[in-house]
Amino acid sequence: MSVPTSADLKDVGGIVGFTDIDAPEPELLKACVHCGMCLSSCPTYRITGQEMSSPRGRLWLMSAVSQGRLSIDDPLFQEQMYQCLNCRACEAVCPSGVQYGPLVEAARYQIEQRLDRPAKQRIARKVMLDWTFSDMRKMGAVAKMTSLYQTTGLQKVARKSGVLKLLGLSDMEKMAPATRGKSLKPGTEAWTAAEPVRAASLFNGCIMGTAFGDTNRAACRVMARNGANVDIPECQGCCGALQVHSGMFDTARDMARANIDAFEAEPDRPIVVTAAGCGSTLKEYGHLLKDDPDYADRAHDFAGRVKDFSEYVAAENRSTPGPVRRKITYQDACHLAHAQRITAQPRTLLKSIPDLEFVEMRESSLCCGSAGIYNILRPEMARKLGERKVNHIIETGATEVITANPGCAIQIATLLREAGSDIKVTHIADFMDEAYANGEPGAGI
Amino acid sequence: MAQYAYERSRTIHRFDSDMISSPLISSLERAVGAANVFGDSSDLLVYEYDGSVDAAVETSKPAAVVLPQTVEQVAEVVRIARTNNLPIVPRGAGTGLSGGSVAQSGGIVVALTRMAQILDVDYDNRIALVEPGVINLELSDWVKPGGYFFAPDPSSQRACTIGGNVAENSGGPHCLKYGVTTNHILGLEVVDPDGKVRWIGGKGEEQAGYDLTGVFVGSEGMLGIVTKALVRLTPKPETISVQLAAFPTVEGASLAVSRVIGAGILPAALEMMDNLTIQAVEPAFHAGYPMDAGAVLLVETDGVTEDVEDTAREIERICFETGATLVRQAITEAERDLLWKGRKMAIAAMGRLAPSYYLHDTVVPRTKLPQTLSQVDEISKDFDLPIANVFHAGDGNLHPLMLFDRMNKTDIEKVVGASKELIEYCVSIGGALSGEHGIGTEKRDYMTLVYTGEDLAAMAGIKQAFDPNGVMNPEKLFPKGYMCGEVRAHYNAALAQKYGIYPL
Shortest Cα distance, chain A CAs vs residue B194, angstroms: 26
The per-residue pLDDT for A116 is: 75
Statement to judge: residues A52 and A100 lie in one domain = yes
Residue A118 pLDDT class (50, 70, 90 cuts): confident
Question: Would you say domain B237-353 falls under CATH 3.30.70.3450?
Answer: yes
Residue B491 pLDDT class (50, 70, 90 cuts): low
- Rounded Cα–Cα distance for residues A147 and A403 (Å): 22
Q: In sequence order, what are the beta bridge partners of A328?
A: A358, A400
Q: How many domains does chain A have?
A: 4
Shortest Cα distance, chain B CAs vs residue A215, angstroms: 35
Statement to judge: residues A32 and A128 lie in one domain = no
Helix pair A296-305, A276-283: axis angle to 10 deg:
140
Which of A289, A314, A339 is a domain's end point?
A314
Statement to judge: residues A340 and A433 lie in one domain = yes
Cβ neighbours of B206 (radius 10 Å)? 5
Least confident of B22-26, B142-146, B331-335, B427-431: B331-335
Backbone torsions φ then ψ of B64, nearest 5 degrees:
-160, 155
Mutate which of A35, A63, A341 to test chain B, going by most B C-beta atoms within 10 A? Answer: A35
The per-residue pLDDT for A444 is: 57
Q: Is the pLDDT of residue B12 over 50?
A: no
- Rounded Cα–Cα distance for residues A120 and A117 (Å): 8
Least confident of A11-15, A348-352, B74-78, B166-170: A11-15
CB contact under 8 A, B111 and A49: yes
Percent residues over pLDDT 90 in chain A: 70
Boundaries of domain holding A130: 119-175
For chain A, the distance separating the N- and C-terminal CA atoms, rounded to the nearest angstrom, is 65
CB contact under 8 A, A1 and B54: yes
Instruction: Give mean pLDDT, residues A203-215.
Output: 92
Would you say the ipTM is above 0.85? yes
Q: In sequence order, what are the beta bridge partners of A427?
A: A403
Q: Is the pLDDT of residue B372 over 80?
A: yes
Q: Interface of chain A against chain B, CB under 8 Å?
A: 1-3, 5, 7-8, 11, 30-31, 33-41, 49-52, 54, 56-57, 60-61, 64, 69-70, 74, 76-77, 93-97
Q: Is the pLDDT of residue B7 over 60?
A: no
Statement to judge: residues A234 and A332 lie in one domain = no
CB contact under 8 A, A1 and B51: no
Statement to judge: residues A203 and A160 lie in one domain = no
Q: Which of B51, B159, B351 sits opposite A40 (nearest CB)?
A: B159
- Rounded Cα–Cα distance for residues A137 and B307 (Å): 70
Q: How far is CA B70 from CA B32, B87, B112, B189, B358, in A?
A: 9, 20, 10, 12, 36
Instruction: Give mean pLDDT, residues A352-375.
Output: 93
Q: Is the pLDDT of residue B304 over 60?
A: yes
The per-residue pLDDT for B503 is: 43
From A30, which residue of chain B is nearest by alpha-carbon distance? Answer: B355
Instruction: Convert the pLDDT of each residue in A416-432 to its tens digit.
Output: 999 999 999 999 999 99
| H-state helical runs in A226-295 | 241-245, 249-262, 276-283, 285-288
Percent residues over pLDDT 70 in chain A: 84
Instruction: Convert the pLDDT of each residue in B454-489 to its tens digit.
Output: 888 889 889 989 998 899 999 999 988 765 555 566
Q: How far is CA B28 from CA B73, B90, B222, in A?
A: 9, 15, 21
Q: Is the pLDDT of residue A129 over 80?
A: no
Q: How far is CA B38 from CA A185, A221, B79, B158, in A?
A: 52, 55, 18, 26
Q: What class does CATH assign to B2-111?
A: alpha beta
Statement to judge: residues A148 and A97 lie in one domain = no
The per-residue pLDDT for A95 is: 81
Q: Which of A30, A39, A41 sits opposite B407 (nearest CB)?
A: A30
The CATH number that applies at residue A306 is: 1.20.1050
Q: Is the pLDDT of residue A114 over 90?
A: no
Identify the burial level of A216 via C-beta atoms within 10 angstroms of its C-beta, where 0-12 means exposed, 13-18 middle and 19 or more buried.
Answer: buried
Give percent helix, percent strand, percent coil of chain A, each to the nearest 5: 55, 10, 40
Is residue A233 in some structural domain? Answer: yes
Is residue A163 in some structural domain? Answer: yes
Residue B428 pLDDT class (50, 70, 90 cuts): very high
CB contact under 8 A, B111 and A51: yes
- Rounded Cα–Cα distance for residues A10 and A241 (Å): 37
The per-residue pLDDT for B4 is: 30
Statement to judge: residues A335 and A434 lie in one domain = yes
More confident residue, B400 or B453: B400
The per-residue pLDDT for A180 is: 74
Across chain B, mean pLDDT equals 89
Q: Is the pLDDT of residue A344 over 90?
A: yes
Identify the burial level of A152 via C-beta atoms within 10 angstroms of its C-beta, where 0-12 means exposed, 13-18 middle and 19 or more buried.
Answer: exposed
Residue A7 pLDDT class (50, 70, 90 cuts): very low
Residue A20 pLDDT class (50, 70, 90 cuts): confident
The CATH number that applies at residue A109 is: 1.10.1060.10
Instruction: Convert the pLDDT of each residue in A251-293 to its tens digit.
Output: 999 999 999 999 999 999 999 999 999 999 999 999 999 999 9
Q: What residue ranges do the domains of chain B occupy?
A: 2-111, 118-235, 237-353, 451-498
Contacts of A50 in chain B (CB under 8 A): 38, 67, 111, 113
Which of A314, A337, A363 is a domain's end point?
A314
The per-residue pLDDT for B332 is: 86
Contacts of A32 in chain B (CB under 8 A): none
The per-residue pLDDT for B1 is: 31
* Assigned CATH topology for domain B118-235: 3.30.465
Is residue A51 in some structural domain? Answer: yes
Residue A151 pLDDT class (50, 70, 90 cuts): low
The per-residue pLDDT for B496 is: 66
CB contact under 8 A, B347 and A95: yes
Q: Residue B63 carries which DSSP code?
A: S
Q: Is the pLDDT of residue B169 over 90?
A: yes
Question: What residues have CB less than 8 Å from A160, skipping those under 6 apart?
Answer: none
Q: Is the pLDDT of residue B191 over 50?
A: yes
Contacts of A93 in chain B (CB under 8 A): 158
Q: Tell me the residue length of chain B.
A: 504
Instruction: Give mean pLDDT, residues B167-190.
Output: 95
Is residue A153 in some structural domain? Answer: yes
The per-residue pLDDT for A170 is: 60
DSSP characters over B207-224: -SS--HHHHHTTSTTSS-
Statement to judge: residues A362 and A429 lie in one domain = yes
Shortest Cα distance, chain B CAs vs residue A166, angstroms: 29
More confident residue, A211 or A168: A211
Contacts 24+ apart (CB under 8 A), B385-388: B385/B411, B385/B414, B385/B415, B385/B418, B386/B276, B386/B353, B386/B354, B387/B276, B387/B418, B388/B274, B388/B276, B388/B277, B388/B280, B388/B346, B388/B350
Q: Is the pLDDT of residue A65 over 70?
A: yes
The per-residue pLDDT for B2 is: 34
The per-residue pLDDT for B331 is: 80
From B3, which residue of chain A is nearest by alpha-carbon distance? Answer: A2
Instruction: Convert the pLDDT of each residue in B267-277 to its tens digit.
Output: 999 999 999 99
The per-residue pLDDT for A255 is: 95
Q: Interface of chain B against chain A, CB under 8 Å?
A: 2-3, 5-7, 10, 38, 40, 42-43, 45-47, 49-51, 53-54, 59, 67, 93-95, 111, 113-114, 116, 133, 135, 137-138, 156, 158-160, 345, 347-348, 351-352, 355-357, 406-407
Q: Which of A3, A11, A52 sits opposite B46 (nearest CB)?
A: A52
Is residue A184 in some structural domain? Answer: no
DSSP H or E segment with residue A198: strand A198-203
The per-residue pLDDT for A181 is: 78
CB contact under 8 A, B3 and A2: yes
Contacts of B116 in chain A (CB under 8 A): 49
Statement to judge: residues A159 and A211 lie in one domain = no
The per-residue pLDDT for B53 is: 85
Residue B501 pLDDT class (50, 70, 90 cuts): low
Is residue A383 in some structural domain? Answer: yes
Q: Is the pLDDT of residue A125 over 80?
A: no
User: What's the one-letter identity of residue A258?
Assistant: A
Backbone torsions φ then ψ of B483, nearest 5 degrees:
-155, 175
The per-residue pLDDT for A124 is: 72
Q: Is the pLDDT of residue A80 over 70?
A: yes
For chain B, helix (H) and strand (E) counts, in that order, are: 18, 18
Q: Is the pLDDT of residue A163 over 60?
A: no
